[in-house]
Amino acid sequence: MNEQSRSPEFDVVVVGAGVAGLYLLHRLREMGVTAVAFESGDDVGGTWYWNRYPGARCDVQSIDYSYSWDTELDEQWEWSERYATQPEILRYLGFVADKHDLRRDIRFSTRVDGAVWNDATSLWEIATDDGATTTCRYYVMATGCLSVMKDADIAGVGTFDGEVYYTGRWPHEEVDFTGKRVGVIGTGSSAIQSIPIIASQADELTIFQRTPNFSIPAYNGPVRPADAARINADRAAYREEARWSSSGVPREVAELSALEVTEEVRQERYERAWQEGTIFSLMGAFNDILTNADANDTAAEFVRNKIRSIVDDPVTAEALCPKTYPLGTKRLCLDSGYYATFNQPHVRLVDLRENPIQSITGAGIDVVTADGATSYEFDAIVFATGFDAMTGAIVSVDITGRDGVQLRDRWADGPHTYLGVMSVGFPNLFMVTGPQSPSVLSNMALSIEQHVDWICDTIEHLRTDGKAVIEPTPVAEAGWVRHSNDFADLTLFPQANSWYMGANVPGKPRVVLPYLGGVDRYRKTCDQVVERGYLGFEVSGEEGTEVNDGVIIQLQPDVGIMIEFMEELALPPMDSMSPVEARAFSEAMAAESPAGPDVGQVLDGTLPGADGNDLDFRLYRPAEQGPHPIVIYFHGGGWVIGNATSDDALCRDLCVRSGAVIVSVDYRHAPEARFPAAPDDGFAAVRWIADHVDDFGGVPGQLAVAGWSAGANIAAVVTQRARDEGGPEISGQLLLTPVTDCDFTRPSYTENGDGYILTTALMTWFWDHYADVADRDDPRASPLRAESLAGLPPAMIVTCEFDPLRDEGEAYAAALADAGVDVRHRRARGQIHTSVPAVNALLSGVSVRGEMADALRGFFPAGVPA
């Protein structure tokens, strides 16, 4: 390969001259990099050049939706309104372009038709609609997330004889609806913004609504003095706070659930959010509105009641109330008198759920009614049918990467990106606010700046390091897609057929498109990728190729957040405490944990232990009529801490899910009662309960054991002793992250021994309190070391990926299987030792607990009452 073949016409080609494209050109010019932008419009502005429909405004306050990279702009430009209109935003972007002389690097009225990666030259070849081809080393799609209109999937489109308008491609000249009969199809954001203005002109206005949207009043007007004062007090600090906020707008973070306050407090918070009038205020009123359906419904019903109070006609009001999806899982809208518009006598709503559109005709729109069909005649029809969001603008261009693969084909089942910035097989192709980045769920101006900075810093790093090509690894990309989906699965977003899910475009894969972890978490992750030597990337140059493979985030999202929270508390390690202090600490932490679900009955009692002294137990009975199978449960705590009620939430959860009676039994603790007191008590309890099954409301012969951690150790030992000492018969064993051996040399102790709550140091502390070194090889302490595991009851063993005990639990599962025992093993991906039992605190453990309950049911014959 000669040097000339490697010399591109430009270092960087940028597609788009909107908010992202302008900042890119500025940064690249500062770096001394040659760059050109192709823009299909005849001026700058991007989204704000094309979207000129009546009432078009930004839904983030102007003072936030503005550039921070040029601090002089804050002094030179004063926004006239809280939420700027499209013309004002376009003037602002034009002002920036003039100030920095950016237009000289932009080729206007030029559309990119295709881009092909040339592996021989390591360059992109960009074809434009003027017939030219431009080569570049780096190709950046700054095309915006809402820039490609969605086709109107309605029969008869194109047959209407009157005026036709699309909110996504509104004429540049003024449109006047005075004296006209107008139909608007759609009630999304652009419709909600435009309908009040169209209504003020038209003689008749008919709105065709397929799915109602939630909207709150914008209370537009001058920037509120309090908001201006907060920013002006220290603008640099405000901007920095925004960069590390969840939404890209500084806000107080809610710490309470909507379900743990009184109705009065809920309503007061919602009313305050309603009056604040931002898209972030209502969703941020409580910490679980997007993760808990019951919490979400309290906020949704608040908005529905607002709609009912505004709209006079109760039938119309009810039709405008969204009821088929959670609040916030479709884009929450801001409006200026939208709902009140329906009180005007010349405005009517057609509910397409009741009366679907049959077709568009030359005269207007025909809808299906109970009586047959109704025809509406119009002079003009406005299609407010939305956009092919986030991926549409990227895959609408023919982008061909390595081996002739087109990006649209690679993304046929949904986008595959690393950080929402790059995609495997497409070297040196960058996307600004691409899918699987926060983008549309954030203050876009801030997210754009973060992406542009990261991309430009990466290009500068490659130049400095003598590298020319960068591409994510398949492992890193798959890990990011999985992490993005993990976050989505913790939320209510998948319950809505929204453009966030791609569900508004027929045939588009239904996946959550934006990253839901927040601006702050995303920024931190991008920074960590760089700090770790561009983890997850392959880079190459004249001197060869370097691969730094890996996955940047492997923990389940909620588990990672919990660990971060614990680290912020800076609590003393438990292994630095005495046993008495550790017990008090554990009980204090448990008191702050969420409760488990309600069960039919809870009873406390005692039963005789191995030494004749009473052991406490707590019984959890299902609400359904018994008798029920019985599961004897042993709590965790390293044989040192805990009691019969310390795993209360988990026991409740297992009771509800499995339909079994759960009996949580205490045992003597070390160091006061060292080995073998705990397993002796466990075996004594199982024998006693087996002899009193009727007293517990159980089914004779249907007895299983379960436990977590040290409690799982006891459960495993009990099954071995029951086999060897004449019973009782045990139907199955459920072992959650069990201690099965005293060997600390396994890799999981090295890999996971620090930073994941349960540490190697703490396990050492537990063992030292529990058993002498000489006793630890005893199978009653290390059940993996039993002479034989044959003949044991079926087992379900759950291990966690980031647990020091992972390997010994998996070794026990393998040893049981080798001995002919029916074993079901589940390694809980992204989980730690303490996360699966965290009922109602960590959502990612729900599916694991569901499998645990399935295993318990499977231990008992079909037809047994449950």
Helix (H) or strand (E) holding 148: none
Mean pLDDT of 206-217: 97
Model confidence at 225: pLDDT above 80: yes
Contact 678, 667 (CB under 8 A): yes
Residue type, 739: V
At residue 4 the predicted structure's pLDDT band, cuts being 50, 70 and 90, is very low
Model confidence at 7: pLDDT above 90: no
Our CA dihedral for 455, 457, 459, 464, rounded to 10 degrees, sits at -170
Q: Measured at the alpha carbon of residue 750, what is the angle toward residues 749 and 755, in degrees to the nearest 5?
A: 85
Tokens representing 420? 């929402």
At residue 749 the predicted structure's pLDDT band, cuts being 50, 70 and 90, is very high
Mean pLDDT of 287-293: 96
Q: In angstroms, how far is the first alpha carbon of the chain from the final one?
A: 73
Determine the angle formed by the axes of helices 235-243 and 225-233, rounding to 10 degrees: 100
At residue 393 the predicted structure's pLDDT band, cuts being 50, 70 and 90, is confident
Own/partner contacts of 371-376, CB < 8 Å, gap of 24 or more, are: 376/183, 376/206, 376/350
Provide the pLDDT for residue 2. 38
Mean pLDDT of 198-212: 97
Task: Express each pLDDT in 459-488 by its tens digit.
Answer: 999 999 999 999 999 999 999 999 999 999
Provide the pLDDT for residue 548. 98
In terms of phi and psi (left: phi > 0; alpha: psi -120 to 50; beta: otherwise), the region of 32 is left
Contact 168, 42 (CB under 8 A): no
Provide the pLDDT for residue 303. 98
Contact 506, 153 (CB under 8 A): yes
- List the 380-383 sheet strands across, edge first: 163-166, 380-383, 181-185, 204-209, 347-351
Residue among 509, 336, 532, 486 nearest 413 (CA): 509
**What one-character-per-residue DSSP string does 153-175 give?**
--TTTT---SEEEEGGG--SS--
The DSSP output letter for 402 is G
Q: Which residues contact 610 (CB under 8 A, 6 or more apart)?
A: 677, 680, 681, 683, 684
- List the 372-377 sheet strands across, edge first: 357-360, 364-369, 372-377
Cα separation of 788 and 720, whole Å?
9
Provide the pLDDT for residue 865. 45
The position carrying tokens 């008992």 is: 860
Helices (runs of H) and strands (runs of E) counted in the chain: 25, 29
With pLDDT > 90 as the criterion, what percentage of the chain qualifies?
Answer: 92
* Residue 175 burial (CB count, 10 A): 15
In 3-state terms, what secondary structure has residue 437? coil
- Examine residue 728 and say whether the peptide bond preceding it is cis (omega within 30 degrees of 0): yes
Q: Where are the alpha helices (DSSP H) in 616-676?
A: 648-658
Write down the mean pLDDT value for the chain.
95
Determine the angle formed by the axes of helices 19-30 and 444-464, rounding to 10 degrees: 30
At residue 503 the predicted structure's pLDDT band, cuts being 50, 70 and 90, is confident
Contact 165, 132 (CB under 8 A): no
Q: What are phi and psi of 609, to 5 degrees?
A: -90, -175
Provide the pLDDT for residue 248. 96
Q: Which residues contact 370 (CB under 8 A, 6 or more apart)?
A: none
Model confidence at 140: pLDDT above 90: yes
- Examine residue 671 and say whether the peptide bond preceding it is cis (omega within 30 degrees of 0): yes
**Rg of the chain's alpha carbons, rounded to an integer?**
32
At residue 6 the predicted structure's pLDDT band, cuts being 50, 70 and 90, is low
Q: What are phi and psi of 10, to 5 degrees?
A: -135, 150
Q: Which residues contact 232 (CB under 8 A, 6 or more apart)?
A: none
Mean pLDDT of 548-557: 98
Mean pLDDT of 631-656: 98
- Examine residue 573 and say whether the peptide bond preceding it is cis (omega within 30 degrees of 0): no
Residue among 16, 127, 123 nearest 401 (CA): 123
Distance of CA 112 to the CA centre of its chain: 33
Q: Would you say the C-alpha torsion 768, 774, 778, 784 has a positive or negative sign? A: positive
Provide the pLDDT for residue 5. 46
Task: Express each pLDDT in 152-190 by its tens digit.
Answer: 889 999 999 999 999 989 999 999 999 999 999 999 999
Residue among 19, 87, 91 nearest 54 (CA): 87
Task: Express each pLDDT in 766-779 by its tens digit.
Answer: 999 999 999 999 99
Contact 482, 555 (CB under 8 A): no
Task: Express each pLDDT in 690-709 by its tens digit.
Answer: 999 999 999 999 999 999 99
Q: What are phi and psi of 723, to 5 degrees?
A: -65, -40
In 3-state terms, what secondary structure has residue 759? coil
Q: Distances in Å between the alpha carbon of 520 and those of 426, 458, 527?
A: 27, 20, 11
Cα separation of 688 and 255, whole Å?
45
Cα separation of 238 and 306, whole Å?
33
Task: Express each pLDDT in 352-376 by its tens digit.
Answer: 999 999 999 999 999 998 778 899 9
* Residue 827 burial (CB count, 10 A): 16
Provide the pLDDT for residue 91. 98
Cα separation of 726 and 395, whole Å?
68
Q: Measured at the alpha carbon of residue 124, what is the angle toward residues 118 and 126, in degrees to the nearest 5?
A: 120
At residue 432 the predicted structure's pLDDT band, cuts being 50, 70 and 90, is very high
In 3-state terms, what secondary structure has residue 206? strand
* Residue 377 burial (CB count, 10 A): 14
Provide the pLDDT for residue 801. 98
Residue type, 19: V
Mean pLDDT of 537-561: 96
Cα separation of 840 and 829, whole Å?
19
Residue among 526, 505, 516, 535 nearest 414 (CA): 505
In 3-state terms, what secondary structure has residue 752? coil
The position carrying tokens 């509910």 is: 351
Task: Express each pLDDT in 506-547 by its tens digit.
Answer: 888 899 999 999 999 999 999 999 999 999 999 999 889 999
Cα separation of 696 and 678, whole Å?
23
Cα separation of 97 and 171, whole Å?
23
Provide the pLDDT for residue 1. 37
Contact 720, 784 (CB under 8 A): no
Contact 647, 641 (CB under 8 A): no
Q: What are phi and psi of 711, to 5 degrees?
A: -65, -35
Cα separation of 38 and 16, whole Å?
6
Cα separation of 606 and 403, whole Å?
71
Mean pLDDT of 687-692: 97
Task: Express each pLDDT in 267-279 by its tens digit.
Answer: 999 999 999 999 9
Cα separation of 125 and 134, whole Å?
6
Q: Which residues contact 724 (CB under 8 A, 6 or more apart)?
A: none
Contact 468, 5 (CB under 8 A): no
Residue among 637, 596, 634, 648 nearest 839 (CA): 596
